[in-house]
Chain A
C-alpha cells in the first residue's frame, strides 16, 4: 500500500488536512492515527507579533516530523492564476517545498474551481519548477489538459468542499480513471464517510485527500482509523478484481442434485 507523488514514495494513500479540529492536540492524534504522511496547510494574513500563527506552525512541524511526513501547502482563497502563483511562491519560501496543492476558486457559492485560471496557474508554476497537485472538477477534458501540461498528480473533487456529499458523479470519476491510466489520481474534497473513500479506491484511484470528514466527526481519531482501513479495503478490492454486475439472479449454491427437486 504505497503512493508515489512526483517520485516520492509514501506508505499511506491518505492525504489529510490540518484544519477544523477541536484542538491542536486532537489534530495531532488524528493525523498520527490516520497513518497519512502528507498534511495540507495554508497561509493567511497575520501579524507576526501575534504568536498564534507561529505556535500553529511549530505544532504542525512537530506533527509532520513525527509521522516522517510531507507538507502540502494549498492556495486556498485564490480566485485568479496570479494570486495562486504568488501564494505558491510565498508558500515555497516558508515551507521549503516545491509541492503545491493548487486551488483557484471560480464560484463563492460552491467553491467550484475555475478551470481556466487553474490551467494558467498550473502552466506557470510547472514552468517555475513546482510540483503541482491541482484541485479540479471532475471534468475529463480539464484533467487531460492538466496532465498534458505536466501535472503528474490530478485531484478531481468528489463534491464541493466541506459538503460531505461523497461521490456526486461516479461515472465522471470512473471515466477519468479509465482515460488517464498513467496519472496519479487523488480524490479531493466532498468526502463524507469511509465508504466514499473505499469507493474511490475500488475505482482504481491512487489516493484520497480529506479534512472535514475526520475533523468534524464526533471522534476524529477513530474516524481517521476508519478512513485508513476503508482505503486499504478499497485498494485490495480493486487489485483483486471486482466481479461484473449481472442483470439476472444466479444461484450461488450448486443446483445439481438439489433436494426435493422434481421436474414440472
Chain B
C-alpha cells in the first residue's frame, strides 16, 4: 500500500487504512509544533479531523506551509 505526501510515495504495510495523523507521522515529527494545513485528494481536512479521517492506498496528501506571495 502506498500513499503520496506532497508527491512522494510512502509505503504503509499490513493496513487497509490509516488516519491522517498517522500518515503525517510518516512525513515529519512533532506536527503539533508546526504551522501547516492539509488536503486529502484535493479536499481540505481541518486540523481537528486528522484523527477521524482515513487515507487508503493511492490517496494523496498535500501538506502546505506559508510562503511569500504577491
The complex places the Cα of A19 from the Cα of B33 at a distance, in Å, of 25
Known interface pairs A45-B7, A48-B36. Does A57 touch B66 (Cβ–Cβ under 8 Å)? yes
| Most A Cβ at <10 Å: residue of B63, B64, B66, B70 | B70
Q: How far is the CA of A212 from the CA of B7 in the complex (A)?
A: 30
Cα A95 to Cα B37 with chains together (Å): 10
Report which A residues bind B (CB closer than 8 A). Answer: 17-21, 27, 40-49, 53-54, 56-57, 60, 73-74, 76, 82-83, 86-87, 89-91, 93-95, 161-162, 211-212
- Contacts known (A82-B42, A93-B37); A46 close to B68, Cβ less than 8 A: no
A-B contact pairs, 21 of them (CB 8 A): A17-B69, A19-B67, A20-B70, A21-B68, A41-B68, A44-B65, A45-B6, A45-B64, A48-B33, A48-B34, A48-B35, A48-B63, A49-B34, A57-B35, A87-B64, A89-B46, A90-B39, A91-B37, A93-B37, A93-B46, A162-B70
A67–B10 CA distance with the chains assembled, in angstroms: 43
Q: How many residues of B contact A (CB 8 A)?
A: 27
From A57, A60, A86, B44 is in contact (CB under 8 Å) with A86
Are B43 and A86 in contact, with the CB atoms below 8 A? yes
Which residues of A have CB within 8 Å of B33?
48
The answer to whether A19 touches B68 (Cβ under 8 A) is yes
Determine how close the nearest CB of chain A comes to the CB of B39; give it in whole angstroms: 5
Q: Chain A residues with Cβ under 8 A from B43's Cβ?
A: 86
Instruction: Evaluate contact between B66 and A48: CB separation under 8 angstroms.
Output: no
Given contacts A40-B70, A46-B6, A76-B69, 8 further A-B contacts (CB under 8 A): A17-B68, A18-B68, A48-B28, A49-B28, A54-B35, A57-B65, A90-B39, A94-B36
Asked whether, in the complex, the Cβ of A54 is within 8 Å of the Cβ of B69, the reply is no
Which residues between 2 and 21 of chain B lie within 8 Å of chain A, taking CB atoms? 6-7
Instruction: Collect the chain A residues with CB atoms within 8 Å of residue B27's CB.
Output: 47
Q: How many whole Å from A59's CB to the nearest CB in chain B? A: 9
Contact in complex: A54, B42 (CB < 8 Å): no
Cβ A48 vs Cβ B47 within 8 A: no
How far, in angstroms, from A19 to B64 measured CA to CA in the complex?
17
List the A residue with the shortest CB-CB distance to B46.
Answer: A93
The contact of A90 among B34, B37, B68, by CB within 8 Å, is: B37
